[in-house]
Structure 1
């Protein structure tokens, strides 16, 4: 029996040694539930992008496959033509670098979580969340329309709009992970509305970027979130490599200082905007472009009559500036201080836990971070509705304790401080290697 009960007549059997030979760009095999698939040509047509599936070339992708695909029976029609055989009976289900015991325990936990209904979303939760976003948008505009555009009211309007944008960012994240509706097509449709019409960004850009991050978090050259294009050096490995190679694109020993100038202020208003436009235009994604334009048509229709063209553009940039700070601190405090290294071919659970940490639960922290303060649970169960993270957290902690894997939880303040502290430590490692090795 294959994945999802699929019968196969494939006679070829392979060893892990043979599978691991096929991990080049044009020759890719992977294993799902002991079945061997040749994805060399199909990877380019993969809905999640060629990179996210290519990251598992030569490896067992069972856990990642299960984590990302809600309807595995539907996926079988794509997998069946790619099936070329199976692992030999003498071969372990996992290659030698992975912890079979923790994988088995995690599969047991996931089965129990599904039986407990923790993958079922509460529609009212997401309706209320969307409602409070729309109310913030409406109240911000009505305030300056009715009382005028004084500096005080404009600043308050900007804060309200930035809050709405940040919260819409967490909401589009829910739909992008297919964690709200049972049918993927409804998640995709509402995702385009929220990220496109409410935020002015492209769903395709987010999907490819974010799923790569989840597939191999904090893995250099595979996770786009740690690809800083030479502006920053991260972790303990990359700084030493840069230093030994005498690479000095920036004064990295001061990166914890210039981070405040280049990181939070510029990521959303500059970097993300340019990336979105590049993706939509270069890939001719006209549907995403239409949603993107609908945001700006609505925005300028509301604010040009009040502020003029220049004033409306300036207000939008300031809102993006505020939102960018919010986004950067929330997303980086869970990952940047954690282990960042090259590919080690770890099992799913160990890889996710070494790359993530949690922030303490509170009503404010949950709202402020879109429940991404439960980053560990989110990475282990990316399709789980966020309101259930707190319910599965105790079981995840028990799993970690059983296998001796750290389960780290911090205060919100310490999480932010650790971002700067980790940048400073990495910069010092670079300087030491640059000067003395």
Structure 2
């Protein structure tokens, strides 16, 4: 996942500056076509989706009133899990992007919508809409790439602490909504700078805590309490907890599939200095990956299965991404670019493989076999316990060996 500027086989080296600007103009035309054709069918789609989600959630919560009975618990938990996924992915995420602001409906608008997540909508909009979508996959600028807790590129120096990366990445996935809240607060950076008492941080922290208290009261107090007459308090409590975990794992998985599989490009900070609209488009194209699948996958993912199209056109109605995807793919082919798309299991495996690969020193996993495993473990032990000088010496030795192999080949 080395930044594209340092790749020997740069995938955009064949494009001229005019090619890139022409690509931008063609993408602008695709966007304009959808903007001009938005109408009643699109409005009906989002209103139907909201009605379906709310009906499913209400029905599931009614079933959970009798969740002391296992079939009711399973049915209610499954329904509530799906309802929470729809609320977060296809509805909340996309409404907060302003995809439906053109309807002028104050109830379905990016400035008024609040969602079923620990982080307040306005905080998320700043870190996601303004920062992530502006600086997509730029190392040191886009903290969505690893959320500031993971090593995401070979050029980042390896440190023994990264050995725990798979574990804390999994914990972050399980409790994803709280991880996002901490990320939106820039909690890590604030602690590092010792600014926990900063008035602005305290204001935002109180907002997050209020939101968490509201969500926790709803899921872990009110609804379980309503089940007391049927003896279903604890089963309903467990059902709400399970549904939140399912939603968190699914949301995290979809996001990982969109930006972290092998083959998705990253970029250096200097590369975006003076960036043109065409160059911004090109970075979105190369810094995202799609999940191939049918209608159910697209809806359940919030149409982030069309992550490439979403990053090109984040404010277009999500139900139109499937329509523009073939046109976008045709431009990839026209300009000799790789349209990164694969089924969900393949993308998820690739993303988690990268999490594990980058938790280890560069090349360690790639060059480890059954026969050389003991030697590789000894090397890993030395790098873990030997300090920076030892690590640099081993890295230099590995580079010399790699060069010798290339010369021999």
Query: Is TM > 0.5 for Structure 1 vs Structure 2?
Result: yes
> Please, which runs of 5 or more residues in structure 1 have no aligned partner?
1-96
1:248 aligns with 2:160: yes
Give how far 1:236 is off.
2.9
Structure 1 pair 305–183 and aligned structure 2 pair: CA distance change class (3 A): closer
1:264·1:324 contact (CA, 8 Å) conserved in 2?
Answer: yes
State the partner residue of 1:405. 337
1:317 counterpart (241, 247, 258) = 241
Report the Cα distance in structure 2 between the residues aligned to 1:281 and 1:155, rounded to whole angstroms: 41
State the partner residue of 1:111. 29
The structure richer in helix per residue is 2
State the partner residue of 2:121. 203
State the number of aligned residues.
327
Give how far 1:200 is off.
5.0
1:340 aligns with 2:266: yes
Give the structure-2-normalised TM-score: 0.69
State the partner residue of 1:218. 137
Structure 1 pair 417–313 and aligned structure 2 pair: CA distance change class (3 A): same
State the partner residue of 2:297. 365
- Measured on the aligned residues, the alpha-carbon RMSD in Å equals 3.4
Give how far 1:142 is off.
0.9
Report the Cα distance in structure 2 between the residues aligned to 1:296 and 1:371, rounded to whole angstroms: 28
State the partner residue of 1:24. none
State the partner residue of 1:262. 171
- Describe the SS at the equivalent of 2:305: coil
* Bigger RCO of structures 1 and 2 (CA < 8 A, at least 6 apart): 2
Structure 1 pair 150–311 and aligned structure 2 pair: CA distance change class (3 A): closer
State the partner residue of 2:180. 272
Structure 1 pair 286–118 and aligned structure 2 pair: CA distance change class (3 A): farther
1:119·1:385 contact (CA, 8 Å) conserved in 2?
Answer: no
Report the Cα distance in structure 2 between the residues aligned to 1:394 and 1:100, rounded to whole angstroms: 23
2:226 counterpart (305, 309, 315) = 305
2:78 counterpart (144, 159, 166) = 159
> Please, which runs of 5 or more residues in structure 2 have no aligned partner?
1-14, 188-199, 365-382, 384-390, 397-409
2:136·2:284 contact (CA, 8 Å) conserved in 1?
Answer: yes
- Describe the SS at the equivalent of 1:237: coil
- Describe the SS at the equivalent of 2:304: coil
Give how far 1:129 is off.
0.9
Post-superposition Cα deviations, 1:187-227, rounded to whole Å, max 9, x if no partner, equal: 775664441xx445411121012121111112122112124
